[in-house]
Amino acid sequence: MDEALYRQMRELEDRHWWFTARRRIVESVLARLLLGPGAPILDVGCGTGGNLAMLSRFGAVMGAEYDATAALLARERGVAPVARAALPDRLPFAASQFQLVTLFDVLEHIDDDQGSLTTLAGLLRPGGFLVLTVPAFPFLWSAHDTEHHHKRRYRAAQLRERITAAGLNVQWLSYYNSVLFPPVAMVRLLGKVVPHKSVGSEVALPPAPLNTLLENVFAAERHWLGRVPVPFGVSLMAVARKP
């Protein structure tokens, strides 16, 4: 992403409803994994580090980030060490080093998504987990994807195929951000015919009451995600395990 977007993300990700709600959802998912105390965790593509504090509640977390500006902003949080790294093959870590690898809205930025998943599978201990999220449905492609340098949006079957080909067992895979799917889809589709606003306009912080409402609506999905099949959503989440 552009440096301006990283700096905007650092300003917003602790407060904006989308980031805060996703953290609540991910935290609920990770709590079900029962990792055990001190589990080694790697957050790949950690960006400006907004998820590091949450992940640290589940073990000893490290970050990996390609962009120098984002890595610096993540280190400045003082939560975890952050290494410079790049998928698919420039990660300075040992094979079978981690019990959990997370990849939150990163895979869509990588040309070689299959090779990247295979590399990450190699970093996992036997029985270790990969938890990842990606944007869903190619028809939702918009200026937002272009501005964030996305290569693709995924369908569920496509993502499952990639994970399985990397040698991991998919424990569950589901669309999410489903409650807000209709208005988001409408905005994205209208954006194809209506001139788009300035860069980053979709992630501007809304007024506090609306921000709280949207966070609670989105975060409510943590109660059923991974337990009840969800056929649509703005994004996909998967939990996979190394044999």
Look at 101 and 147; give whichever has higher pLDDT. 101
Interhelix angle 156-165/113-123, nearest 10 degrees:
50
Mean pLDDT calculated for residue range 138-148: 90
Alpha helices in 43-177 (DSSP H): 52-55, 68-75, 113-123, 143-147, 156-165
The pLDDT score that the predictor gives to residue 171 is 98
Q: How far apart are CA 210 and CA 226, in angstroms?
A: 27
Specify the fold of 3-241.
Rossmann fold (3.40.50)
Which three-class secondary structure state does DSSP give residue 98?
strand
- Tell me the pLDDT of the chain averaged across its residues: 93
DSSP, res 136: B
The pLDDT score that the predictor gives to residue 219 is 98
The pLDDT score that the predictor gives to residue 103 is 98
The pLDDT score that the predictor gives to residue 237 is 98
- The residue extents of the domains of the chain are 3-241
Name the band, by pLDDT with cuts 50, 70 and 90, for residue 87.
Answer: very high
Whether the pLDDT of residue 150 is over 90: the answer is yes
Q: How far apart are CA 147 and CA 166, in angstroms?
A: 29
Mean pLDDT calculated for residue range 3-27: 91
In Å, how far from its chain's centre is CA 162?
16
The pLDDT score that the predictor gives to residue 192 is 73
The pLDDT score that the predictor gives to residue 82 is 98
Whether the pLDDT of residue 199 is over 50: the answer is no
The pLDDT score that the predictor gives to residue 11 is 86
Whether the pLDDT of residue 198 is over 60: the answer is no
| Other CB atoms within 10 Å distance of the CB of residue 119 | 20
In contact, 191 and 142? CB cutoff 8 Å: yes
In contact, 241 and 129? CB cutoff 8 Å: yes
The pLDDT score that the predictor gives to residue 1 is 63
Mean pLDDT calculated for residue range 44-51: 97
Name the band, by pLDDT with cuts 50, 70 and 90, for residue 92.
Answer: very high
Mean pLDDT calculated for residue range 17-42: 97
Q: Nearest-CA neighbor of 163 among 172, 176, 150?
A: 172
pLDDT in tens, 200-242: 445 689 999 999 999 999 999 999 999 998 999 999 999 999 9
Cis peptide before 37, with omega less than 30 degrees from 0? no
Mean pLDDT calculated for residue range 162-184: 96
